[in-house]
Structure formats: structure tokens, C-alpha cells
Amino acid sequence: MADMKKKTYTMTVFGCQMNERDAETLRGFLDEIGYEEVDEVEGADLVIMNTCAVRQKAEEKVFGRIGRLGVLKKENPEMMIAVCGCMVQQEDVAKKIKKSYPFVDLIFGTHNIAAFPELLQRAAESKETVLDLWDEAGDVVEGLPVTRKDGVKAWVNITYGCNNFCSYCIVPYVRGRERSRKPEEIINEIKALAKQGFKEVTLLGQNVNSYGKDLEEEMDFADLLVRVDRETDINRIRFMTSHPRDFTEKLAKVMGECDSVCEHVHLPIQAGSNRILKLMNRGYTKEHYLDLVDILRKYAPDCALSTDIIVGFPGETEEDFLDTLDVVDRVGYDMAFTFLYSPRSGTPAADMPHQVANEVKKERFQRLLEVQNKHSLRHNQEAVGKTVEVLVEGPSKTDPGVMTGRTRSSKTVNFTGENVNAGDLVMVEITQARTWSLLGRKSVENRNTNDSSVSGD
Ligand code: SAH
Ligand code: SF4
Ligand code: F3S
């Protein structure tokens, strides 16, 4: 009789939500072929790394891990190793891995995920590394399998690729040109998710605000949000990332009007100096950005704002950096993701003069963090005493007696209370603020909604 034991795999995902979403498709394929996911690398039949190329650190982590896997593979030669994603979509990197780590079985890029089962089969039959990269993305492929682990929140692609070519960024080179999914496909996916019990979707694109520009029908991102709000039963809609260049007043209006659209926008500024913004090819000025924030707050006054900031872009002077701090103070972000500029080979910024010394980058980074932390804490303190809706994710990782979830404004809340389960939308009274999170307790206001042990009116 054939051995009925399922084959096992383990997967590590680096980088952004796009990669997380692609990993869900890979999991879907592996489910179909009959693999089971395990946590431990030891003993796994297949190890997959879905890689990121956005900063050098991300790439170094992958090289380190591949090296360690080589040691394991000596003990267990049957173990297959696959490397995919943005990093290996760079042909030179893929070739380097093939040459320096010949024990890797399979290397494939971001454009040929749909061919994964075939590639895996080929790699199993081949003694040499199977390397398969496509130069360009084909049309959007619908109907690929997907396995989502979490039954509460789901990522939903709305566009793939990027046309913006910010001068520091590798993404357009490894993800191809921008392609929008058809609205019907998106709506049907979200309808199905709501039916399965999901409460929240995050619409994903490198620049969601340019959604629809390549579609035949007249449709922009604001129209899409209205349709998802009206036509599906999903409780919460989020989206990322919103590029300031294409952010419209119409979108701000829609955010204020659509009940299921959450009160949070991630609007990366990257830098506060107009000179640096121009060198970055971002397509807006500091003043334009600040106007957008005003417009947003006019239509959606409760909207939380977060951002991405790069410190130490080539040529950044102390004065330029002060412009960044100025924007951070003027906007008063709820949260900021801050990065040291990392030169990416093949991007224009990597060859720009006046690269900033590491010590200078780090010193500015620290100052930026201090300024931002004050704003984060202030926003969180303002929430104390309020009662807010929290979508429960489950018990806290550090304290199983405490539940964790997020507010509509995307703040993490750790709270206590009876009869709370993952996927519940509960009202929580905020009792304490930290810089990165809120503490609270389940409110008595839940009487008529979630707590079935108390009878309603
Ligand atoms: N499409 C999104 C960003 C995707 S990459 C947008 O335009 O906002 C996520 C973040 O990584 C960027 O916002 C930027 O802040 C940062 N990043 C990208 N390339 C980088 C580089 N070469 N060095 C440092 N940070 C970088
Ligand atoms: Fe990169 Fe700019 Fe595209 Fe964002 S918009 S992915 S930063 S090129
Ligand atoms: Fe994302 Fe990294 Fe690729 S940020 S798109 S996984 S380069």
C-alpha cells in the first residue's frame, strides 16, 4: 500500500502584504497537491522562502537563511528548497543563488506563480536547480487557489505592479507594470469572504489610488470603494497603499461617507523637502501633501493617518531633514514606518551623488523616531476614556489572559473581558495608552450585541 503520510512544507514570507497574499496562493496550491504546513524546518519535505528586495537587510536575511538550509540539506538530502518572490525576480540575484547555492532546487519569480505546481514537479525530477523567471507579467490571472489561515481579516489584491518608479524603489522592476483587477472579480471575492465569516478586507495595491486607469470601463478607486461598501456585507474595508500623487478629494469624500470604510489612511510622505521629493520622483510637494491632509480631515475628521518615511536619501542635508520633521509635527501622524535609505542596484538613486553616511542616517533616524513617538503617544492618550469598536484577533501572544484586536483607526488594543472570541466585533473601553498600543476592558455597552449571557431589552 502507498504511504498515506502527507508531505510537509514550511514557508517564510519576507516583505509586504503583496508577498503575504502571494504566499496564500502558494499555500492554496500546496493544499491542492496534498501538502501540509508545519512550523519546523527540520524534517519538512519542502522549504519555501518568499523573498523581498526592498532594502538590503531583507536580502541579507534570505542569503543567511539559504546558507543555514544548506547545512540541513546535507543531513536530509531529500528536502527540497524553493526560493521565490521579489528578490529572485532580479535576474542577477537569481543567477547568483543558483551558482553559489547549487543545492537550491527551485527559483521562480513574481510573474509565474500560477505555474508553481508544474515548477515544483520539474524541480523534483531534476538534479539541477530549476530557474524560471518571466521578464514581464502576463494578464491578471483569476481563480488561483488561496488558503487563508486567519478567518477574520483577508488581503484582497486590486492592482498588481507599479508604474511610479520612485527613484529609490526596486518594486516596479520586480513587480512589473500596473494591472487592475476587474471590479466584479474583486466584489465577488469579498462577497464570498463575508459569507465565510471574514469581517475585514484590506484592498492591496502599490498605489491603490490609480486603480482602474487601465480598465476599459470608467472607474476609479473611489468608485470601487463605494461599490464594495454597497454591494458586500463585509464589516470593515481598509486599503493600502495610498499614493499622495493620485489621492483625490472624491476619495476623501467617499471615506467620510461609506460606513464600512475604516477611519485610517496610510499616506506615505517619504520626505518633507521639496528638493528631495523631486529627486525621489514622488510627483508632489510638501505643500500639496499638507493640503491633502486638510481635505481628508475636512471630510473624515476622525481619520487616523500613518506614513512611511525614508531617512538619508542621497543628497539629504540637515535642512532637508528638518523639513521632514516639520511635516511630521504639522500632520501629527498616528503612526510612522521609518526606514534608512538603502541603495538598490538598478534604481536611479543608487547612482546619485552625495550618498549620506551611515552615522548621519542613523542619527537622523533616532531624532525622527523621538518626534514621532511623542505624536503616537499623544494620539493614544486621547483615546483613553473612550469606548471603541475592536475587531478581535485572538489571545495576546505575550499574555493569553488578554485578548488583542484593532480599532477601526488601526490601533492595537489589548483588553480583558469574558466571552470574547476571534472575529467578534466588541466595544472596548480604553483605560490606558502606550506608545504603540492601547489597553482596555470590554465595555458594558456590549450587552445587547455580543454577550448572550445577558438578556436584551
Ligand atoms: N507602494 C508603496 C510603498 C511600498 S515599499 C508606496 O509608494 O507608498 C514600502 C516602503 O519601503 C516605502 O514606502 C518606502 O518608505 C520604503 N522603501 C522603499 N524603497 C526603499 C529603499 N531603497 N530604502 C529605504 N526604504 C525604502
Ligand atoms: Fe515603490 Fe514608489 Fe511604486 Fe511605492 S509607488 S512601490 S515607493 S515605486
Ligand atoms: Fe513587497 Fe518587498 Fe516585493 S516590499 S513588493 S515584497 S520588494
Cβ of 169 closer than 6 Å to ligand 2, yes or no, is yes
pLDDT digits (tens, 9 = 90+) for 34-61: 999 999 999 999 999 999 999 999 999 9
pLDDT at position 454, please?
Answer: 40
List the chain domain ranges.
7-132, 153-379, 384-442
- 3 band by pLDDT with thresholds 50, 70 and 90: low
- Asked if residue 278 has pLDDT above 80, the reply is yes
Which CATH architecture best describes the domain 153-379? Alpha-Beta Horseshoe (3.80)
17 alpha carbon, closest ligand: 3
pLDDT at position 450, please?
Answer: 47
Mutate to test the pocket of ligand 2, among 89, 169, 281, 313 (most ligand atoms within 8 A of CB): 169
Mutate to test the pocket of ligand 3, among 174, 178, 179, 208 (most ligand atoms within 8 A of CB): 174
pLDDT digits (tens, 9 = 90+) for 119-140: 999 999 999 999 999 998 888 9
Closest C-alpha to ligand 3, atom 1: 16
pLDDT at position 2, please?
Answer: 52
206 alpha carbon, closest ligand: 1
384-442 folds as OB fold (Dihydrolipoamide Acetyltransferase, E2P) (2.40.50)
pLDDT digits (tens, 9 = 90+) for 196-248: 999 999 999 999 999 999 999 999 999 999 999 999 999 999 999 999 999 99
- Asked if residue 449 has pLDDT above 60, the reply is no
Cβ of 164 closer than 6 Å to ligand 2, yes or no, is yes
Mutate to test the pocket of ligand 1, among 339, 342, 358, 362 (most ligand atoms within 8 A of CB): 339
| Three-state secondary-structure class, residue 275 | helix
- Asked if residue 389 has pLDDT above 90, the reply is yes
pLDDT digits (tens, 9 = 90+) for 360-375: 999 999 999 999 999 9
- 90 band by pLDDT with thresholds 50, 70 and 90: very high
Cβ of 13 closer than 6 Å to ligand 2, yes or no, is no
Identify the CA nearest to 58 among candidates 80, 88, 81.
88
- 400 band by pLDDT with thresholds 50, 70 and 90: confident
**Distance (Å, whole) CA 61 – CA 355:** 24
Average pLDDT taken over every residue of the chain:
95
167 alpha carbon, closest ligand: 2
Which CATH architecture best describes the domain 7-132? 3-Layer(aba) Sandwich (3.40)
Cβ of 266 closer than 6 Å to ligand 1, yes or no, is no
Mutate to test the pocket of ligand 2, among 19, 52, 179, 207 (most ligand atoms within 8 A of CB): 207
- Asked if residue 107 has pLDDT above 90, the reply is yes
Q: What is the mean pLDDT of residues 408-423?
A: 96
pLDDT at position 452, please?
Answer: 43
Residue type, 395: P
pLDDT digits (tens, 9 = 90+) for 306-340: 999 999 999 999 999 999 999 999 999 999 999 99
Calculate how far, in angstroms, residue 169's C-alpha sits from the geometric centre of ligand 1.
6
51 alpha carbon, closest ligand: 3
**Distance (Å, whole) CA 369 – CA 311:** 11
**Percentage of residues in the chain having pLDDT higher than 90:** 93
pLDDT at position 15, please?
Answer: 96
- 445 band by pLDDT with thresholds 50, 70 and 90: confident
- 1 band by pLDDT with thresholds 50, 70 and 90: very low
Instruction: Give the nearest ligand 3 atom to 206 CA.
Output: 5
Instruction: Give the nearest ligand 3 atom to 87 CA.
Output: 7
Cβ of 171 closer than 6 Å to ligand 2, yes or no, is yes
pLDDT at position 447, please?
Answer: 59
pTM, two decimals, is 0.95
Calculate how far, in angstroms, residue 349's C-alpha sits from the geometric centre of ligand 2.
13
**Distance (Å, whole) CA 284 – CA 248:** 13
